[in-house]
Amino acid sequence: MKKEMTIVYDVHDGLYINLTNRCPCACTFCLRQTMDTVGQSGGLWLEHEPSLEEVKQAIDGVDLKHYTEIVFCGFGEPTERLDTLLQTAAYIKQVCPDKKIRINTNGLGDLVNGEPIAPKMRGLIDVVSVSLNTPNAEEYLKLTRSKFGAQSFDAMLAFAKSAGEQGIEVVMTTVDTTISHEEEAQCQAICDRIGARYRIRPWED
Q: How far apart are CA 133 and CA 130, in angstroms?
A: 9
User: How confident is the model over 147-198, as pLDDT tens digits?
Assistant: 999 999 999 999 999 999 999 999 999 988 778 999 999 999 999 999 999 9
Which of these, 141, 64, 71, 59, lies nearest to 104 by C-alpha position?
71
Q: How far apart are CA 36 and CA 47, in angstroms?
A: 13
User: Residue 41's pLDDT is what?
Assistant: 60
Tell me the whole-structure pTM to 2 decimals. Answer: 0.93
Q: First and final CA of the chain: distance in angstroms?
A: 31
User: Residue 38's pLDDT is what?
Assistant: 67
User: How confident is the model over 61-114, as pLDDT tens digits?
Assistant: 999 999 999 999 999 999 999 999 999 999 999 999 999 999 999 999 999 999
Pairing of strands 8-11, 14-17: antiparallel
Q: How far apart are CA 201 and CA 199, in angstroms?
A: 6
* Strand runs labelled E in 19-83: 69-72
User: Residue 190's pLDDT is what?
Assistant: 98
